[in-house]
Structures are given as C-alpha cells and as structure tokens.
A and B are shown apart, each in its own frame.
Chain A
C-alpha cells in the first residue's frame, strides 16, 4: 500500500485546517459569536449544518488516497513491489467494496436479473434469449419471490445496528453538551438518520444493488457517493482561490482610491462584461492544451484528472471574483471614512498596519457570507459547465457525468430512471442544506434583518 496525495487532497485538508483555526480565532470576537450563536440557536441551522458537515466528512474521507500493492506475479522473484494504477480512498474501504461489484450492464434497483436480454445456454445446452442473472445480487436466494422478505430482514438488522452506533455517537455528545442552550437534539436526530442510512446502505449493498447499476455495470449508489467529493471540493476550492484576488484588490481599491481604484474597477468591469461561460470555456481549453502537450507531467490517469479538476476550480475562481471584489471595495470605502481609521492616520500608523488591524477584520463577515452563498451556486454550475464540455474528467466520479449518461436512457422503454435519481438525491440534499444554511447566515449578519428581528 502506498499513500498518494493528490493536489486536491492537499488543498482540501489545508482549507479545512485553516478554516478551523480561523473560526477558533473568530470566537474571541463577542459580536461574531453572538451572530453565529443566532444561526445555531435555530433547529434549522443545526440540521443543515449537520448535513453539510456529513458531506464534508465524506469528501474528506474520500480525499485520503492510496494505491494498493499488486500481488507478486507467480514465478517472478523481484524485490520491487508494483502498485495498482487504480487509486483507492479510505471511503472505498469503508463502503466495503461497493464499487468493485460490477455487473455487465444496466440493472434496476434491487433487481436480480439484468435489464437487457442476452443469448445464453440453458441446462440442456439449448440457446435461449433471456435476462441473465446478476453476479452480485441475491444469488443465494432459493426462490426469487423471497426477495422482498429477505430485504426486509436485512434492513431490520442493519437499522438495529445503525441505532446502536448512533446511540453511542449521540450518547457521547449528550454527555458533553447536555448543559448547552442550543437545540442540539435536532442535530442528533439528523446524525442518527445519517448513520442508520449509511449502515443500511453499506450492509445491504453486499447483497443487492440498492440503486441499480449503470451502463458500465457500476453500482449507482456508489457513484453517487463518489460524486460528493467532487461537488464539495469544487464549491470550496473555487472560493478559496477567488478570495485572495478579490480581497486584495477590493481592499486596495477602497483604501488607496485614486488610480488604484480606477484600475481595479476597470479590471472587474471588463471581466464581468464578457459572457462568463465563454471566458471559462476558453480558459479550460487553454489548460487542456497544456496537459496534452505535457503528458509526462502526470504519472497516472487520476493525477491528470485531478490536475484538470484543480484547473477548473482555479478558472471558476478567477472568473468569479468580481462580485466579491465589488462588495469589499464598497465596504472598505465606507470603513476608511470612519473616525478610528482617520485617527490612526493622524497618529501616523502605517498603511499595512491600518489595513491589517482596522480594515480587514471589518470585511471578514462579507467574505464569510459570500463563501456560504457561492457554495451552492458553484455545485450547480458544475453540472451546467460540464455540459458544454469543459467539466470534470469522466474518470472522476461526478454527478454531472451520471446525469449526462442517464439523459439519453430515459427514452428507453421502460425508462432507465435510477441513475438520474441517485445523482438528483445526493445533489439536491447538499445544495438544499447549503442554501438553507446560507439564508440563516445572511439573516444573522445582515444589519437590516437583524435589526428588524431585535426591534420586534
């Protein structure tokens, strides 16, 4: 086994660590604490936050990659160990080989037989045309009619296990947080649901394909879960890349004014007047050419896909900084007129110090709100972008690739609906949670709405 750190893995862990430090520091500020407290004092805030954390957790587990050592070829003695070209993640291990039970082609959810007929030989050796049985779905059943009873038994067992595990997880939290005024019970409820669902999915996937299989015979539920990493990473990394540009330029334009302001305004007006999709497409093509010209740069296919993915994040970030930059510029303009900044000037405090001590801390809330707001938009944008051919590499699991694969299959009779539903469910839950959470954050930080709620 050889650990493998992809660029995106390193970046996402870096991001999570820096965000944690950032939030820890932010706790010292009483006003910020009060506002975040407002978010977490609502049940909805707790629930959506738990869901988002669960997604981030899956993405993080899926970001710990390694390459399995191949078994030594018999008869060949060599000291060297060869590694599999396929990259496995910790999540794959936790899912219990869900992605390794391939079928031949499409099969419906919980089906025992394939979706398409195939020429086979029966016991007497006669050629018949029938639906072949699946390799990994309920083949131990003596009578196919017992299938649903078997599913029921297995589900009950899995749910019992799930309840036991969630009781342990929730119990520890209850012990630590029982004095807290926040509605933690809402979070615990969702945690129990997620854990039960996870345990059920993993255990029953050993016997059936819960969401069926796709054209290539891969388990759809597995693919949907693998899509989580792509979605979460795209939403966070793009914003991460955009932040430095937007904050630096915005603060500088608002603080120094004059020609700096003119230049920055010119830059973002120019950028925002180009139709966004064209800009993105051109940049992605540019990178694609670079990859094609330097094939030696990446040792395995996954690294190439990863580089392309990071480039996409980078491009989305670079092309979308203008809105945030505009907001920060306006806020900095306002702040730099305030008394304490004027006083600092009068005392001869240096520009860098004023920027670091007085300006930056006061625009942090804008950055945070944008971060949360942009997240869901970016997840949705990925699905659209990939459609025009500038998206994720097909070898990297993503919901868009599933949607695209499923689109033409709806015209079949009967329709193949399950590949679509898997992507839909996982994407919808993530975006919905992010949207609801961002609403709460905005309400808490928006001076107009918070004044209204405190006034009444």
Chain B
C-alpha cells in the first residue's frame, strides 16, 4: 500500500506541472507583465520607468519561458515561469502582487472557510442519508414517487434563490441571525448557522436523490431478499445490510471532496461575507492578482489529487476485498 501511495504521488507531479503551465499561459496571455504593473501601480499616469521598476522589483523582468541570453541550464531557470510557478512545488507561495504574504493569508483565511464548509459537509451527508433511507423504506409507494419529485424540484432551484430566501426569511423577517459577516472572537456560531443551513438545504435535492438510487440498487440484490425471507426486520436490513454495502459508491463521491473543503465555497462566502479562501480567490480574480490565483490553483489541484488518493485508501477500509497494489 505504501508503494502504491508513493507511485500515485509521483504521478501527481506531471499533472501539477501541467496545471501550472496552463494557468500561467492563460493569465499571461490575458495580461502581460506590463499590464499587470500598470494595474498594480494605478491605471493613470504610469511612466515606463515606473513599470520597469515594478517589474524588476517583483521579478517580472525576465523572459516568459526561455531565456536566450543565459547559458546552459539557466536558460530555462532564469525565466518568469521557473521562478514564479515552479517555486510552488516547494510550497513557497511568495508575495501577492499587492505585496501581502500569501502563505500567511492562506493560513489565516483557511479557518473561516473550514468553519463553514466542514459543518455543511457533515450535516449535509447525515441529513441526505437519513432522508434517503426514509424514502427507501417507503419504496414503490406513492410517497416514494412524490419524494423523488420533490427532490428533483429542489434540485431545479438555483443556489442563489436558496441564499436569498434564507437571508430574507431567517435574517431579515424573523431576525434570528445576522444577514452576513463573520466575527471569529465573538460568538462565531451565530454567523455560521445561516450559511450552513442554506448549504445543507440546497444540497438535499440532489444529495438525497443520489443516495436513494444507491440504496435502491442494493435493495434489489438477492441478499436483501434472503435477509427479508429469514425474517430480519426492515430497520435492521436498512442499517446492517444495505448501508454497509452502499458504502463504496458513497465513498467514491464523498471522500474526494474532503480535502477541497479547505478551499471553501465561492458563492456562500461572498454572499455571507465570510473572510475565507473562497472570497479570497474571488477578490484575486476580480483584481487580476496573478500570484494569488496561481497559488490557489496549485493548492486546489493538490487537494483534489490528494482526495483521489484518499478515496482509494478509503476503499480498503470499507471493503476488505480491495487491495491496493
């Protein structure tokens, strides 16, 4: 298993290089170092000298990919791509274009993101599985059909409506919680209730429907019929037979998301004014801060690949027959 994990980690390197190359190209086609300097220094009244100075200071005065002036290996290393992008592999994120230290920013902003994303994730899964099990108990009745219809209806509502509806009802009309904002020191849970609730409710439609299909797949198997024939109670069939056997597909869909929880949710965070990584990224996109975007893409990709490896490992835990070689 250790050999397997090491091999998977090695596979990740070419993928991460590809990711870097892609983001790098995309952003440098969009704005050349000159544009970047101009927008960071303020759009108007920028002298060419100021731009050149900014580029030298921030290390953008080198060629993009190949340095023709340098000799030997430094033709490839003394370039913007090498100094800016490949440095990320050492988890050295450097400074943002506006001069802030990205590593500090990420490590402080990670916690609010996690504070919203983790409860949403856990409560969401729990609620979805409970609802799905309940519906599976009434399988092939009218209740089941209406429940599926309800799930599809819930799925068909845009996320924005859930957010707006939640803010309007809970925060504005009933005044139970603040509309938005975040205060880590003073009762942070008060600010977290609404985003978590909205996230869970918005996910019920697609989530519960998906779990229902998984459970039904198992409910039609022969071993369930056998269990029923020998008189096992319905509750026990659901929890002791169907649920464990449906674990593999559940893990496939769920475990890959766990590492990405650190990244937070772009929409939720910006609507509720939570100072997490999601809104950090959004601000970076809007102000075209390439250094932040580059680092966030890199972190995101690593977490995704990590999630894939984690999924494989979780299979061995859920199903003893699975061996990683």
Contact = CB atoms under 8 A, between A and B. Distances in A.
Mutual binders A and B: yes
Interface of A: 266, 269-275, 277-279, 281-283, 285-286, 289, 376, 380, 383-384, 387-389, 400, 403, 407, 410-411, 415, 420, 424, 427-428, 431-432, 435-436, 439, 448, 452
B160 interface: yes
Interface string B288-299: 100001001100
A383 B15 contact: no
Nearest to B300: A275
Contact of A278 (B14, B159, B300): B300
B22 A384 contact: no
Nearest to A280: B285
8 contacts: A275-B263, A275-B301, A278-B23, A278-B293, A281-B285, A289-B31, A428-B153, A436-B149
A384 B158 CA distance: 8
Contacts of B270: 387-388
Interface in B268-325: 270, 281-282, 285-286, 288, 293, 296-297, 300-301, 304-305
A389 B286 contact: yes
Interface in B250-273: 263, 266-267, 270
Q: Which of B26, B29, B30, B156 has the most CB of A within 10 A?
A: B156
Interface residues of B, number: 43
Contact of B267 (A384, A410, A420): A384
Nearest to B171: A411
Contacts of B266: 277, 388
A283 B156 CA distance: 27
A278 B152 contact: no
Contacts, number: 113
Contacts of A289: 30-31
Contacts of A278: 23, 281, 285, 293, 296-297, 300
Contact of B160 (A376, A389, A403, A448): A403
Contact of B18 (A270, A407, A439): A270
A445 to B, nearest CB: 15
A271 B305 CA distance: 12
Q: Which of B15, B172, B220 has the most CB of A within 10 A?
A: B15
Q: Which of A273, A275, A277 has the most CB of B within 10 A?
A: A273
A205 to B, nearest CB: 25
B210 interface: no
Given A410-B164, A411-B172, A282 B159 contact: no
Given A270-B22, A387-B160, A435-B152, A275 B30 contact: no
A286 B158 contact: no
A278 B286 CA distance: 11
Q: Which of A269, A383, A436, A439 has the most CB of B within 10 A?
A: A269
Given A266-B18, A387-B270, 17 more contacts: A269-B15, A274-B297, A275-B300, A278-B293, A278-B297, A279-B22, A282-B26, A282-B293, A286-B29, A383-B159, A387-B160, A388-B282, A410-B172, A411-B172, A428-B153, A435-B156, A436-B149
A79 to B, nearest CB: 45
Contacts of B22: 270-271, 274, 279
Contacts of B156: 376, 380, 428, 431-432, 435
A420 B158 CA distance: 12
B297 A452 contact: no
Nearest to A382: B158
B168 interface: yes
B243 interface: no
A448 B221 CA distance: 12
A403 B159 CA distance: 11
Contact of A424 (B161, B281, B286): B161
Contacts of A420: 161, 164
A420 B160 CA distance: 11
B19 interface: yes
Nearest to B173: A415
A403 B300 contact: no
A273 B19 contact: yes
A420 B266 CA distance: 22
A269 B296 CA distance: 18
Given A282-B27, A410-B164, A420-B164, A273 B301 contact: yes
B26 A286 contact: yes
B155 interface: yes
A427 B158 contact: yes
A435 B155 contact: yes
A133 to B, nearest CB: 30
Interface in B124-178: 149, 152-153, 155-161, 164, 167-168, 172
Nearest to A386: B160
A353 B141 CA distance: 50
Contacts of B281: 275, 277-278
Contacts of A435: 152, 155-156
Contacts of B164: 403, 407, 410, 420
Nearest to B167: A410
A439 B152 contact: yes
A274 to B, nearest CB: 6
B15 A266 contact: yes
A383 B22 CA distance: 26
Contact of A273 (B26, B159, B296, B305): B305
B301 A285 contact: no
A315 B267 CA distance: 20
B156 to A, nearest CB: 4
A124 to B, nearest CB: 41
